[in-house]
Amino acid sequence: NAGVMQNPRHLVRRRGQEARLRCSPMKGHSHVYWYRQLPEEGLKFMVYLQKENIIDESGMPKERFSAEFPKEGPSILRIQQVVRGDSAAYFCASSLTGATEAFFGQGTRLTVV
Amino acid sequence: AQRVTQPEKLLSVFKGAPVELKCNYSYSGSPELFWYVQYSRQRLQLLLRHISRESIKGFTADLNKGETSFHLKKPFAQEEDSAMYYCALRRDAGNMLTFGGGTRLMVKP
């Protein structure tokens, strides 16, 4: 089991472009969580998804950010019209159920220039 | 609202010295608390959780509801303990975690 896989590991975007971050959960896991870590800060919860459903998006910015976890394929965190303040490390975690241990990916470091 | 505070960004100790990484929380419900560790160039991984009352790699943490604290302790630090440590609180339902800002532990030879 390769663990939670995130790609790309590093992503550079110009202001105004779109960023797409992918997360493949561990095999058999159907619960996915996205976190954002701004420089010098801790991880902050963004969104919790279960296959094809958004369970909790209380940490997602209201505009420009969206997430999905389709029936087939990885979970995608999409940021439209990126701004410099979106520069951060984005971590994905997955778990077997909503109550079991969540395992983290290595993160995607987004830099907006 | 829940909040987790780690007051020290950096803690530097010598090998063999005792270590205590502080964590305080605020939460209106019954908390479930965790410590995560991130070694250099590795992914974040669970170190221990308060409900297990276990010792992992010599580390222990006791939940003190009166002081709303969950400090991580180890009696004798090792160089391989150098890493980022995050305290986290689990919200009511599901696996959503509220993290503290992290403490970088440096163990000097």
Q: Which of B6, B95, B98 to mutate to test the interface with A (most CBs of A within 10 A)?
A: B95
Contact B43 A40 (CB under 8 A): no
When CB atoms are compared, the residue of A42, A43, A106 closest to B43 is A106
Residue at B93: amino acid letter: A
CB A69 within 8 A of CB A4: no
Say how many CB pairs under 8 Å bridge A and B.
54
Residues of chain B contacting residue A30, judged by C-beta atoms under 8 Å apart:
none
Two structure tokens written together for A25: 């959960």
Work out the burial of residue B18: count CB atoms within 10 Å of its CB; fewer than 13 is exposed, 13-18 middle, 19 or more buried: exposed
Q: What are phi and psi of B80, to 5 degrees?
A: -70, -5
Instruction: Check CB contact of B100 with chain A, cutoff 8 Å.
Output: yes
Residue B93 has pLDDT above 80, yes or no: no
Residues of chain B contacting residue A44, judged by C-beta atoms under 8 Å apart:
99
Query: Span B52-60, mean pLDDT?
Result: 86
CB A80 within 8 A of CB A64: yes
Which of residues A52 and B18 earns the better pLDDT score?
Answer: B18
Note the pLDDT of residue B51. Answer: 79
CB A58 within 8 A of CB A77: no
| Residue A88 Cα to chain centre, angstroms | 11
Nearest residue of B to residue A106, measured between CA atoms: B43
Q: How far apart are the CA of A65 and the nearest CA of chain B, in angstroms? A: 18
Q: What are phi and psi of A99, to 5 degrees?
A: -120, -10
Contact B95 A35 (CB under 8 A): no
**Helices marked H in chain A:** none
Distance separating alpha carbons of residues B88 and B61, to the nearest angstrom: 12
Distance separating alpha carbons of residues A91 and B108, to the nearest angstrom: 30
Note the pLDDT of residue A84. Answer: 95
- CA torsion through residues B96, B101, B105, B106, sign: positive
DSSP structure class, residue B30:
-
CB B69 within 8 A of CB A9: no
In tens, the pLDDT along B25-52 reads: 998 878 889 999 999 888 999 999 887 7
Residues of chain B contacting residue A95, judged by C-beta atoms under 8 Å apart:
95
Q: How far apart are the CA of B71 and the nearest CA of chain A, in angstroms? A: 17
When CB atoms are compared, the residue of B46, B94, B97 closest to A55 is B94
- CA torsion through residues A24, B101, B103, B27, sign: negative
Residues of chain B contacting residue A107, judged by C-beta atoms under 8 Å apart:
43
**What are the 10-residue block averages of pLDDT along chain A, 113 residues in total?**
90 98 95 93 93 92 95 96 96 91 94 97
SS3 A49: strand
Query: Span B61-88, mean pLDDT?
Result: 94
How long, in residues, is chain B? Answer: 109
∠ CA B67-B70-B74, nearest 5°, is 125
DSSP structure class, residue A68:
E
Distance separating alpha carbons of residues B22 and B33, to the nearest angstrom: 13
DSSP structure class, residue A26:
P
